[in-house]
């Protein structure tokens, strides 16, 4: 089973992806984790990513896609995987489809967590207080939500047009949300 998990920052994607990974016995793939691992391992792609990030620039979609392709060719993904927060824009969604076509794969389900904006702000304010994260200040969170609405929301429509999207109510307890996700699959 190959899944894409979408949702705004603070919607619980990481939490739910970790639970689904264990429940479905599939691999959890986060492109952020792939980048950090490549940098830590000092791979060629990691060196390029590190130089880009050290210069304060965003890592290119092409480099992220190459890291993802390398990961999707590893044997442990044969049973399936969940992509957590990727693709983030329409170009990435289309590039992912091209990559998967080359690998003779396809996305089985795209799941979009729907969470009230004020709930997200409250969740991330709590996370900021608990973990001391400056990227979770209210102004930063509201900006990230605006960017999500502009760039990532069209990806939801993309998967809806393909007939593989299910919108999931992301409000409630972690267990309730996880059960909704499993029911949708």
Task: Spell 49-84 as b/e; 16+ CB within 10 A means b.
Answer: bbeeeeeeeebeeebbbbbbeebbeeeebeeebbbb
Domains for the chain: give ranges and CATH numbers: 2-184 (3.40.50.300)
Q: State how far the alpha carbon of 123 is from the alpha carbons of 47, 119, 137, 139, 163, in Å.
A: 35, 6, 11, 14, 31
Give dist(CA 157, CA 65) in Å, integer.
Answer: 21
What residues are annotated to the active site? 13, 88, 127, 133, 144
Can you tell me the mean pLDDT for 33-43? Answer: 89
Q: Which residues pair with 169 in a beta bridge?
A: 114
Q: What is the pLDDT of residues 90-130, one digit of tens each?
A: 999 999 999 999 999 999 999 999 999 998 888 888 888 88
Q: Which two tokens stand for residue 79?
A: 């049973």
pLDDT number for residue 181: 96
Percent of the chain with pLDDT over 70: 97
Work out the mean pLDDT of the chain and round it to a whole number: 90
pLDDT digits (tens, 9 = 90+) for 65-93: 999 999 999 999 999 999 997 998 999 99
């Amino acid at each position: 089973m190959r899944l894409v998990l979408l949702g705004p920052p603070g919607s619980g994607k990481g939490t739910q992806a970790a639970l689904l990974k264990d429940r479905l016995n599939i691999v959890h793939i986060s492109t952020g984790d792939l980048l950090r691992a490549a940098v830590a391992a000092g791979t060629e792609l990691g060196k390029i990513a590190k130089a880009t990030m050290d210069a304060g620039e965003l890592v290119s979609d092409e480099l992220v896609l190459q890291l993802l392709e390398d990961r999707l060719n590893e044997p442990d993904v044969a049973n399936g995987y969940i992509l957590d927060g990727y693709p983030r824009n329409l170009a990435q969604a289309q590039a992912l489809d091209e990559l998967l076509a080359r690998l003779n794969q396809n996305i089985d389900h795209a799941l979009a967590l729907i969470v009230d904006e004020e709930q997200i702000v409250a969740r991330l304010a709590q996370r900021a207080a608990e973990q001391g994260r400056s990227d979770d200040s209210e102004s930063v969170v509201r900006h990230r939500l605006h960017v999500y609405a502009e760039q990532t929301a069209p990806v939801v429509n993309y998967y809806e047009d393909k007939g593989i999207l299910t919108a999931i109510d992301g409000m409630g307890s972690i267990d309730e949300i996880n059960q909704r996700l499993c029911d949708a699959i």
